[in-house]
Structure 1
C-alpha cells in the first residue's frame, strides 16, 4: 500500500480561521498552522504527511488565501510551488476545490482529485490509506466518492450521511450509494442515528475524477463553473492576475456539499466509503480536550507551559500562551485560553458558542484581536 497512486492528486483546502478555537486560532494564524496535538507538527504538515504515501510529493496541492501562502510554503518546504493555489479571497469550498480540479484537469485530463481538509486529526494511517484507495477505485467508475466516519458517539456537532444500497466495485468492497445528507441533529436524533449504524459522520472528504466533478458543478452552478474554468484556463499563463482580478470577486459563495455532493446523491452518482480510522475535526475546545486527554477529564490538562498553571480540586483545559500564572481552584470542567491580548473562559457545554463571541467582536470593530 506504500506506492503512490499514479493518477491521484490530493488537494488540501487550507482556509478559514477556525473561529470556535479563538483566541488560539486567528485570521493571521488559523488552526491548521498550529500543533494542537503535541506531535511537533502543524495540522497542515500532518495532513501532508498523511497524504504523501497516497499521492507522492509532486501530486499534493494546497488551496489557501493570500495571507497564508508564505506560511503554507514554510510549513511544507517540499511542496511544488505551482501546486500552491492562492485564492484572491474566500469563496467557500466549492470554489476552492473546483478551482483546483479545473487547473489539474488542464494539466492532466485523466486526473482523479481528492479533497482533504488541512485541520483534521486522523489516526490509524494504514486504515486511512485503504479507505482512500477504495474511494479512488469508486471515482474511476465515474462516481463522486466521499468518506464517511463511523460514529463513536451520538455527536450533535457533525452533519451525517445516510448510506444506501451497496455497490459492486472492484477494489472498493465497502462502497455504497449515498441515500441522503442530513444536517447537524439534536441529541435525540443523533442517538437514533448512532443506534441505526447506517448513518456516518460527514467528514467533508471528496474524491472524484476532475472532469466528473466539474461536469456536476456545471449542471448545478453553471455560472460558478464557467468562472472557475476561465480562471483555470489562464492559471498557468501570463494572464492569470488579470483574469483572477476580473472574475473571482463575482464567484458565488457556496459549499461543495450543496453545489455538487447533494445533487449528485439525488442522481445516484455519489458513493460513500465508511472510514474505520480515528477522526476528529477539532471543531472547538471541547473536542480538543477530548482529543488530547480522552477519558481524563477529572484533572487539568495544559497546552503550553505547565509551570504557569496551578490547580487545586479543579478540572479542565488550559491553553497557556503567556507568562501569566493561571490558578484554578475548586472549579470543574472549565476551559481557559490565555493569550497576550485576549482571555477566554468557557465550558465544554458552551464551547460551540465561541464563534458567536468572534462575531460580536467583529461587530464591535475589535478585528485587531481576531
Structure 2
C-alpha cells in the first residue's frame, strides 16, 4: 500500500526576507496560485489518497499545515519537537505510518520542490512501487537527469547494473557524490553517468526501519517504543525521546551504507527552487527581461528581479538590480549579488 511522507520542517533561510522562520518557503506562493506544500500534496493525490498522505513538520508550523491542507487529518500531521535532520524525521514518520498501514511502501518527498511534468512524475513513482514489491530490500531514489553543470546539488553515480520496471530503467547506485566544484560538475555532465540527487525516496516501512536500526541504532532505539504507544500518549513520548536521536541526514546514515540502493533516472521538469536565481527561472518576464513577483513594476529598466509581498513597488530607470520587499523590510542591491541576501539578515 502506497503512502506518502512530505517533509515540511525546513526554515527556508535562502529566501529571506520573503521566507522567514515563522513562515518558510514551503508555505509561500512562490510560483502560481498554490503554496509549495499545496502543490506537493496535489501532485501526489491522483495516486495516493489524502488519508495516506502524511506531513512531518515542526510544532510552530502545525497551524500553517492545517490552514493550507484542511482536508489532512490531525493524525497525519507528524510533529517534530525540534529539527534534527532527515534520519530522525524519516524514522519517526515510518514508525507512525506503520501504526496505521503496517505493510506500507513509503514515498518520501520534500515539500518545496517544483515538478512541471506531474504525470511523468507519478508514472515513475508507480514504477518504483512495482520494483519495491518485487525487491522488498530495495531502496529507490529518483535521480534527476542533469541539464547543466550544477554545483549546488549532490550527485548520484550510476553503476552498470540495470533493470526495468514498467518500462523505466532502474539502476544500481554506485555511490553518492558531494556537491562538486565547477570543473567536476562539468565532468559529471559530460560523463553521462551521473544524476542529480533530488532527495526523493521510495522504500517499505519495514525495510527503512531495519536499515535505520542497523546504521543509526541510536535513533532507532530512541523511537522504537512509539509504535505501541497509546494515541493520547504518543506526542508526549515523541517529545521526550526525540532529543535522543542522532541528528544526521538519511543520505549519510543509510543511503551511503546500504547495499541495495537503486536509482530511476528521471526527467520531469524538477527544480528544488533553492535560491533566488532558481526562482527567477520560473517567473514570468516582461519584454525587457524583468522578473516580477507580487505588486511591483519596472519602468524603463531591464533585467531586474522585483519581489513585493505587501506594498506597491515601482522601479524607474534602473537595470540589473533586485528589490525584495517582505514583512516590513525592503532590500535593494545589484542583481548579481542576490545570492548574498540571506547574509544581510543579521544587520537589518
Give the structure-2-normalised TM-score: 0.93
**SS of equivalent to 2:11:** coil
Partner of 1:278: 269
1:312 aligns with 2:306: no
Q: How does 1:186-197 map to 2 (within 5 A)?
A: 186-197=181-192
For residues 33-55 of structure 1, give each alpha carbon's deviation from its aligned partner in whole angstroms, at most 9, with x where no partner exists. Answer: 111112x1111111011110121
Partner of 1:335: 322
1:133 aligns with 2:126: yes
Distance 1:346 1:277, change over 3 A: farther
Distance (Å, rounded) in 2 between the aligned partners of 1:259 and 1:357: 33
**SS of equivalent to 1:263:** coil
Distance (Å, rounded) in 2 between the aligned partners of 1:207 and 1:348: 39
Q: How does 1:212-227 map to 2 (within 5 A)?
A: 212-227=207-222
Residues 223 and 238, structure 2, Cα contact 8 Å, conserved in 1: no
For residues 75-129 of structure 1, give each alpha carbon's deviation from its aligned partner in whole angstroms, at most 9, with x where no partner exists. Answer: 1122122111111111111111221111122323311101111100101111101
Could you tell me which of 222, 238, 252 is aligned with 2:232?
238
Distance (Å, rounded) in 2 between the aligned partners of 1:345 and 1:228: 46
1:75 aligns with 2:68: yes
Offset at 1:349?
A: 4.7
Offset at 1:350?
A: 4.0
Distance (Å, rounded) in 2 between the aligned partners of 1:42 and 1:129: 20
Partner of 2:246: 252
Distance 1:148 1:220, change over 3 A: same
Could you tell me which of 1, 7, 10 is aligned with 1:13?
7
Could you tell me which of 346, 354, 364 is aligned with 2:341?
354
Distance (Å, rounded) in 2 between the aligned partners of 1:34 and 1:196: 37
Q: Which has the higher strand share?
A: 2
**SS of equivalent to 1:305:** strand
Partner of 2:311: 323
Distance 1:323 1:242, change over 3 A: closer
Distance (Å, rounded) in 2 between the aligned partners of 1:225 and 1:311: 58
Residues 57 and 79, structure 2, Cα contact 8 Å, conserved in 1: yes
Distance (Å, rounded) in 1 between the aligned partners of 2:248 and 2:276: 26
**SS of equivalent to 1:79:** coil
Question: What is the Cα-based RMSD across aligned positions, in Å?
Answer: 2.0
Could you tell me which of 329, 344, 347 is aligned with 2:331?
344
Offset at 1:170?
A: 4.3
Residues 290 and 298, structure 2, Cα contact 8 Å, conserved in 1: no
Contiguous gaps of at least 5 residues in structure 1: 1-6
Residues 34 and 42, structure 1, Cα contact 8 Å, conserved in 2: yes
